[in-house]
Amino acid sequence: MFVVDTLLHRLKRGCETMAYPDGPAPALPERHGGALRVDGSKCDDGCDACVSVCPTTAISRANGQPAVLDLGRCVFCAACVQACPTGAITQTGDHRMAVRRREDLVVGGRGAEEVRLAAELDATLMRLFGRSLRLRQVSAGGCNACEADTNVLGTIGWDLGRFGIQFVASPRHADGLLITGPVSRNMQRALRKTWDAVPEPRIVIAVGACAISGGLFAGHPEVHTGVESELPVDLYIPGCPPHPLTILDGLLRMLGRLDERRFPPRRRGAAATD
């Protein structure tokens, strides 16, 4: 009888795994502003309101030049959005932020207003990892926020395993590392030993502001300035912490598993697609 009740309950619940990416992406909650956009044409001469309020010095402005924002250092507190008198910095509500090159996280100035999203791996790595990717997660001194949002991907609503992506216990069974945290001095040796245990070819994914640049801890004598000071990075996923959808988007984008022609991403102020 217990088995029958369990089966009936399961049938009533139906499928609880989200349709994405075979359906529209769920909207980010209002309090999660998504990616930031910098429109340099709106920067007033002599204004540095956004620079002075940034807690991680992610924003800079040279004389006579528009503001430049490094999303790899940004903790998405939105203080700059509130402080900017001309609306040059805005929240887009876009979950897509992952990039393959560190410099692509720098927006504004005379360059791009938004991030240049990640391209897929090269043909050799795609043949190896495109359908099956095993990752060893390393918390290198993180606060557990990025780690928690990474763990969410394993729940029934997200079901990361349906894409052939899994987290493994041993680096010897892994294809690469997913690293969170600023790489504290006490974790430096452990991270290096874990990396050495991963068989080649191998990849590194830096998740969160701390892993990318040191975040709020940048410049502290007990931490390094992110993963890049220790290991080569193949994918950068910014945020503090990044939303699970941002992490998933980065992984799928790296593996060439997204077709945005079918379901364009939602943007702040745009009409819903579902």
- Boundaries of every domain in the chain: 123-254
The per-residue pLDDT of the chain, averaged, comes to 91
d(CA 240, CA 238): 7
Residue-level pLDDT at 79: 95
- Name the band, by pLDDT with cuts 50, 70 and 90, for residue 138: very high
Residue-level pLDDT at 270: 53
User: Would the pLDDT of 174 be above 80?
Assistant: yes
User: Would the pLDDT of 212 be above 60?
Assistant: yes
pTM of the model: 0.91
User: Would the pLDDT of 262 be above 80?
Assistant: no
Per-residue pLDDT, averaged over 144-164, amounts to: 94
User: Would the pLDDT of 223 be above 60?
Assistant: yes
User: Would the pLDDT of 274 be above 60?
Assistant: no
Class of domain 123-254: alpha beta
Task: Return the biggest CA–CA distance within the chain.
Answer: 76
- Name the band, by pLDDT with cuts 50, 70 and 90, for residue 193: very high
Burial, 219: exposed, middle or buried (Cβ in 10 Å; 0-12, 13-18, 19+)?
exposed
Residue-level pLDDT at 13: 72
Residue-level pLDDT at 78: 94
User: Would the pLDDT of 249 be above 80?
Assistant: yes
pLDDT tens digits along 24-72: 888 888 888 999 999 988 998 888 899 999 999 999 998 878 999 999 9
Identify the H or E element spanning 189: helix 185-197
> Are residues 272 and 93 in contact, defined by beta-carbon separation less than 8 angstroms?
no
Residue-level pLDDT at 273: 42
